[in-house]
């Protein structure tokens, strides 16, 4: 009968090393600091190579911005319960789990408020401005949908107060109080470019701007038709509304332009051409000069570049170089210092 010889010492050592190394290759390793990407803690968050139960949910994650520490004894119990090949090397073994957080953005609050403010009468395109608000941390790993649970809006002052609630998976519902203003937007004509004082406003001088109602002075031009053809008392700034008080009707008679002057007095009636020395509205008295004789007379404005010599007006006539001066030229006739043809 043949007997099996014992393995050589070299082979025995090799078998022992292989036996001891095999479990080590299958053993799980502990993770130290874990940044969670969801609202729950899984077995794989504690151990690498956690085995077939790696995706098993162990419990909720900490609140956003929080952390929890899992000590060695608890880790050992979890490993034993779920068949993870791991044993603590010392009581100092632990895993720290962190839940990242971010601040709730003001734009998220404004987006949530817009619908409620529209229903409250602020208008769908109202300009919303929040007062300072302390926003609690929220989960950085998931979508957040704030909801308006209460809102009060005063249309006269455009002021509002509201309470918002918001929650995300794995996060308890929180509430914040906010306040601010929601200004309705209106279309208003503004100066397209700087316009000098004394200029007459033309169609191309204006453009329509969508502006907050609170940024528009009370007595402001609201329709381009109000300003077109009018003159500016003060310069207009580009992009700014035009106060009605800055508008003036252009004079019917403008200084430096020709004026059709009527002389209608007993014994004579004629129309002559003069030049206005002053601007004048309807009914105003302006001085008119005859460009040929340089005589000046007072005349009442009767229409666009039209005037009539006032009864009893005495013309101012400069000395005549040939020694002649205006005067009586015949019975019932008066010399016309303005000259011209009837």
- Give the pLDDT of residue 5: 54
Q: Is residue 339 part of a domain?
A: no
Handedness of CA 288, 290, 296, 300 (dihedral sign): negative
- Give the pLDDT of residue 250: 86
Q: Which helix (H) or strand (E) holds 18?
A: helix 9-26
Residues 166 and 189 in one domain: no
- Give the pLDDT of residue 317: 78
Residues 159 and 127 in one domain: yes
Residues 234 and 296 in one domain: no
- Give the pLDDT of residue 264: 83
The domain boundary, picked from 99, 118, 139, lies at 99
Q: Is residue 86 part of a domain?
A: yes
Q: Is residue 54 part of a domain?
A: yes
Distance CA 113, CA 215 (A): 22
C-alpha closest to that of 140 among 186, 173, 105, 175: 105
- Give the pLDDT of residue 301: 92
Contact 38, 97 (CB under 8 A): no
- Give the pLDDT of residue 169: 63
Residues 198 and 268 in one domain: no
- Give the pLDDT of residue 326: 42
CATH number at residue 320: 2.30.30
The domain boundary, picked from 183, 210, 238, lies at 183
Distance CA 219, CA 236 (A): 15
Q: Is residue 3 part of a domain?
A: no
Residues 147 and 210 in one domain: no
Residues 118 and 134 in one domain: yes
- Give the pLDDT of residue 73: 95
The domain boundary, picked from 150, 183, 216, lies at 183
Neighbouring residues of 261: CB distance < 8 A, sequence distance ≥ 6: 271, 272, 273, 274, 288, 297, 299, 306, 307, 308, 309, 338
Q: Is residue 203 part of a domain?
A: yes
Q: Is residue 133 part of a domain?
A: yes
Distance CA 104, CA 52 (A): 38
Q: Is residue 306 part of a domain?
A: yes
Residues 122 and 168 in one domain: yes
Q: In which domain, by residue range, is 130 found?
A: 106-183
Q: Is residue 236 part of a domain?
A: yes
Return per-residue pLDDT of the chain as tens, 342 residues: 455 555 555 544 443 443 444 444 358 899 989 999 888 999 999 999 999 999 999 999 888 888 999 999 999 999 999 999 999 999 999 999 999 888 878 888 899 999 999 999 888 889 999 998 887 777 777 677 788 999 999 998 999 999 999 876 656 788 889 999 999 888 999 999 999 998 999 988 999 999 988 888 889 999 999 899 899 999 999 999 999 999 988 888 989 999 999 988 777 888 889 999 999 988 899 999 988 888 899 999 999 999 999 887 878 877 654 443 443 223 333 344 444 433
Count of domains observed in the chain? 4
- Give the pLDDT of residue 338: 44
């Amino acid at each position: 009968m043949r007997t099996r010889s014992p393995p050589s010492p070299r082979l025995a050592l090799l078998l022992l090393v292989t036996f001891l190394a095999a479990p080590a290759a299958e053993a799980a390793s502990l993770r130290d600091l874990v940044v969670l990407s969801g609202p729950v803690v899984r077995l794989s968050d504690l151990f690498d190579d956690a085995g077939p139960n790696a995706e098993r949910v162990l419990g909720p994650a900490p609140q956003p911005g929080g952390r929890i520490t899992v000590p060695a004894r608890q880790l050992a119990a979890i490993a034993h319960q779920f068949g993870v090949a791991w044993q603590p090397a010392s009581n100092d073994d632990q895993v720290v789990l962190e839940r990242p957080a971010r601040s709730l953005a003001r734009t998220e609050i404004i987006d949530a408020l817009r619908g409620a403010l529209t229903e409250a009468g602020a208008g769908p395109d109202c300009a919303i401005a929040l007062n300072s608000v302390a926003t609690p941390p929220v989960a950085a790993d998931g979508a957040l949908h704030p909801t308006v649970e209460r809102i009060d809006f005063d249309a006269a002052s455009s002021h509002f107060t509201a309470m918002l609630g918001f929650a995300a998976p794995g996060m308890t519902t929180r509430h914040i109080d906010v306040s601010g203003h929601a200004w309705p937007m209106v279309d208003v004509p503004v100066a397209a470019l700087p316009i000098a004082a004394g200029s007459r406003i033309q169609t191309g001088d204006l453009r329509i701007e969508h502006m907050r109602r609170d940024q528009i002075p009370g007595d402001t031009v609201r329709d381009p038709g109000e300003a077109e053809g009018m003159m500016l008392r003060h310069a207009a700034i580009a992009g700014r509304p035009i106060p009605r008080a800055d508008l003036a009707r252009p004079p019917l008679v403008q200084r430096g332009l020709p004026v059709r002057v009527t002389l209608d007095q007993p014994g004579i009636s004629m129309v002559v051409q003069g030049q206005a020395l002053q601007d004048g509205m309807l009914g105003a008295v302006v001085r008119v000069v005859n460009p040929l004789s340089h005589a000046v007379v007072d005349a009442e404005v009767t229409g666009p570049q039209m005037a009539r010599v006032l009864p009893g007006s005495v013309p101012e006539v400069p000395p005549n170089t040939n020694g002649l001066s205006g005067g009586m030229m015949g019975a019932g006739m008066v010399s016309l210092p303005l000259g011209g043809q009837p």
